[in-house]
Amino acid sequence: VEKAYDTDILDLKSACDKLNSYEKSLINNRYYLDKTQQEVAESLGISQVKVSREEKKILEKLRVSLTSN
């Protein structure tokens, strides 16, 4: 079980490495720093709606990358 977990982590890291700096920043703020969409919006100078749309696109991009391996 531990070996599969390690592989999953490496796959996720590899998928995240393919994101551009803006996408990484948004995902880092949302999930690593555990900020709300509104907090991310304020730190990036964009609307909460834009954060929501961008987050959805980025997560789909990660999903496709992870399921294509």
Indicate whether 48 pLDDT > 70. yes
Contact 51, 41 (CB under 8 A): yes
Alpha helices (H) along 1-69:
2-17, 21-27, 37-44, 48-67
Per-residue pLDDT at 8: 82
Indicate whether 1 pLDDT > 60. no
Indicate whether 2 pLDDT > 80. no
Give which of 64, 38, 60, 33 is closest to 51, Cα–Cα.
Answer: 38
